[in-house]
Structure 1
């Protein structure tokens, strides 16, 4: 009897063991199937399992979108904060590059001139082949163009000859570089208009200095300033006066042959048809902003100048 009971227990144990083995195998097969077909898993991977580059790109995109939204809403302070955060966290990639350009714009709108220029220069240096490189040069020109100016400069017409023209010269050069390198750029036409404006502002500044030297008896310095205008600002509205001052300086220095040559240049270009010394009043009256390129540039760009009504 004992042996029969033992046999029964052994039989039950054997069946239980076999059942456990099959259950274990079935569980292993299911686990393997799920692992091998992870694409069928309906809930996706955990964040920790994402490709780091993809995860970073998605985070950069969200941060850029937030910053761009502030920019569109003209919240430049908020935009600057978010773009700076984007640049510090994700310094490389497409969002970082676009963010740099928009950060420079936000700086510019907040009158943070030096930070705007630093950002633009860094972008140009690091991304010389970027599709928006022409915009970077254009923005650099705009920022330099407005450097040192404030709201009062646009409301009250102030004589720019009392100011340092360095930033105007830099802007003139940057716009010229943009036109030379990217003549088909969508920003080229606006850059040309700004160069017309700047050319006349700079020429007027030089003319003021030339007149100052004439009044002080520094005739060589006055002649050099007048020649500088003629050589560097062709087409400027002050050209007749510059030629007049040059002739006056040569006469004061006793260099009559050069004075005669200068007079002939004036007569050929401005049709005085008179002998002797050029009439300064005629030279001044021969200037007009209204119908000139300067006047058209002022109207188009909605700018003001001390020299034109």
Structure 2
């Protein structure tokens, strides 16, 4: 995670500054030159005094709301909150920047930083995945709005990870239902992985679990069709070996069925 924070700091420091001055120990409520305030905030940021830096950036905007430094201070306040792991405050600051300055040259950075605030709060797959969904949506927005930016390149990589995480959460619930004999509920979860997260690493297992659930219910035709899809797309996996053994142990073999939902779903996505 430190690598990404270093990357963000490099981006933040690359924002045009052009002011010079020394940090001051004067109380913040005293009206001070914009350059003095801004440089104090930057010094606090570099000294890892993130909360103080955010407060000082806010003071830049409060004391000099019509200066060109007000918008820069808004963005940097969001960055300081992010470094402090104060993600709610960071998102609020970034949303304000985005709303007030949609045409700013650093708007892509603001959207990207907001996405990271959600991304770094992604919970274990056994917990609620609302934050993961928010991260996915925010990362997708970066890709859609700024497809050729350096932020979009990283956002695409993180999107793949969020998709895999969401699929993993569905698998956890599906396995629970399967192990407890709630086969229809399990099928619903595994189908979601196959239909919505087909590029993730969880698909081979999801297909096998579908075979297990269908066989447990006696829905042999769907089990055969699902195993056929599994064997065609992931022939060398342990999951296909397990499905094949399960079917042949009951004198059944995988067989593609064009009328099955699994065949139609796979053809649409592939």
* TM-score strictly above 0.5: yes
- Which of these residues, 118, 128, 131, is aligned with residue 105 of structure 2? 131
1:168 aligns with 2:132: yes
The SS at the match of 2:161 is helix
The SS at the match of 2:33 is helix
Match of 1:69 in 2: 43
Match of 2:223 in 1: 259
Structure 1 residues 128 and 181, CA, compared in 2 at 3 Å: closer, same or farther? same
- Which of these residues, 156, 163, 171, is aligned with residue 192 of structure 1? 156
The root-mean-square deviation of aligned C-alpha atoms, in Å, is 2.4
Task: Kindly state the Cα deviation for residue 236 of structure 1 after the two structures are TM-superposed.
Answer: 1.2
Written as runs of structure 1 = structure 2, the 5 A alignment for 1:38-53 is none
8 A Cα contact 1:244 1:278, kept in partner: no
Cα distance in 2 between the residues matched to 1:148 and 1:192: 16
Structure 1 residues 93 and 258, CA, compared in 2 at 3 Å: closer, same or farther? farther
Match of 1:20 in 2: none
1:237 aligns with 2:211: no
- Stretches of structure 2 that go unaligned for 5 or more consecutive residues are 1-31, 247-270
**1:84-121 deviation per Cα after TM superposition (whole angstroms, max 9, x unaligned):** 21222233443111111111111111121111111111
Match of 2:92 in 1: 118
Match of 2:7 in 1: none
- Which of these residues, 265, 269, 272, is aligned with residue 233 of structure 2? 269
Structure 1 residues 221 and 103, CA, compared in 2 at 3 Å: closer, same or farther? same
Task: Kindly state the Cα deviation for residue 221 of structure 1 after the two structures are TM-superposed.
Answer: 1.5
Structure 1 residues 93 and 268, CA, compared in 2 at 3 Å: closer, same or farther? farther
1:219 aligns with 2:193: no
8 A Cα contact 2:183 2:216, kept in partner: yes
**1:147-178 deviation per Cα after TM superposition (whole angstroms, max 9, x unaligned):** 277xxxxxxxxxx2322221112112211111
**1:168-227 deviation per Cα after TM superposition (whole angstroms, max 9, x unaligned):** 121122111111221111112221221222222222121111100101222121111111
Structure 1 residues 202 and 279, CA, compared in 2 at 3 Å: closer, same or farther? farther
Written as runs of structure 1 = structure 2, the 5 A alignment for 1:141-156 is 141-147=115-121
Cα distance in 2 between the residues matched to 1:275 and 1:236: 20
Structure 1 residues 213 and 133, CA, compared in 2 at 3 Å: closer, same or farther? same
Structure 1 residues 272 and 110, CA, compared in 2 at 3 Å: closer, same or farther? closer
Match of 1:105 in 2: 79
- Stretches of structure 1 that go unaligned for 5 or more consecutive residues are 1-57, 150-159, 281-309
State the aligned residue count.
213
Task: Kindly state the Cα deviation for residue 275 of structure 1 after the two structures are TM-superposed.
Answer: 9.0
- Which of these residues, 144, 147, 152, is aligned with residue 183 of structure 1? 147
Deviates more, 1:176-185 or 1:93-102: 93-102
Structure 1 residues 124 and 108, CA, compared in 2 at 3 Å: closer, same or farther? same
Q: Which has the larger radius of gyration?
A: 1
